[in-house]
Structure 1
């Protein structure tokens, strides 16, 4: 098995184990913030892998694995990690979420759906291996991320 696929599987398993371990205490606002940040960082790392492949030697298996990981995170229900009390810094745990993400539910749902759709499309297209199609789908995912960041994330 390709090392990148092994690392991706190991990362997903690790995220699952961490999620399971934290699940009992996920009601604590600081744990919700840390868990959602971990998910976004893992997703960003996989976005970086796709970007590197599009800019250099294209490895379809690496792109497929990264796209599948992004789709898995997109479909994981991360919205549940925006519970009461996660709208502000707690001790040393900081958040960049703007207050609007907790009040503008319609816009949050709209942007979340767009992101999930884009991530799922990227994963499907990455399976076929067409670099140009992946590049276009990757751009849609990036635009979806940016739309949410522009509206709901503080700099």
Structure 2
């Protein structure tokens, strides 16, 4: 790796980190208002707005990758997968154990998690095409090799 490429990768890392700090702070604030809202605070718009901010943050991250010509690092991919898996586990456990969550916040949380999945899948299809995207997840074909 050349010095210029290393500096560009470092600059991109700093930019993406700062963008996620900003998007994450706004998303967490909106989720806190949505999930902990009282009787006079409508929950659904805040929960959906929090997920919208996360999807926008992902879109900006993809745009930064395109502008810098640097793809997602393996650490970024692992972090995203772990955070999404943790959100799915928390969603499942909360749905099973908190009756009020099922009544008030299940639908917007489900829609938000689904939107995040669709955003990631769409970016893969746009970047690599349909065939290469699904070939990357074809466990049967890769186990025959």
Give me the TM-score of the superposition, normalised by structure 1.
0.39
Give me the TM-score of the superposition, normalised by structure 2.
0.41
